[in-house]
Structure 1
Amino acid sequence: MTRSYPELAWLFASGTWADEESARLRAAFRERFCEYDDGRAAERVVRAVMLGEPLPEPAGDPGLVPAQTAGRDLLTPS
């Protein structure tokens, strides 16, 4: 996590964001906070809040997020 632009620039320049520890931390974050992130969460919010439609159940396995379904962490270089 960075708190300023210079820290963010250093993070990208250093390559630290691509190490195994960073990948593990991102995976732990997704597991804890992205249970229903299936690529359609924003659509469900708009339909429920703006259009008054009932909230449907998330499609597929709600524990999967796009990076996991692709079989790799999208932020880690191949």
Structure 2
Amino acid sequence: MSILRQKIDDELDLLDTKAMALLYEQLRQLNRASSNRKQAGQSVPGIEEVLQHTAMFTGNWSQDIVREREEH
């Protein structure tokens, strides 16, 4: 078993039933979202793609978000 799986397994042993049920639902949603992305041919962009897109943006996105929130 990998180290990560062992760490996860150790933490799972510490959870109560209510927390396990919540975690189970979150895992199902995560798997469903991942499956939907694969079916749609989408993938998570790599850091290079993110940097390329942000380099092309000349505006101030943080100011745009603040302004939008102030309007609402």
Shorter-chain TM-score above 0.5: no
Give the structure-1-normalised TM-score.
0.28
Q: Which structure shows the higher helix fraction?
A: 2
Larger radius of gyration: 2
Give the structure-2-normalised TM-score.
0.29
**Bigger relative CO (Cα 8 Å, ≥ 6 apart):** 1
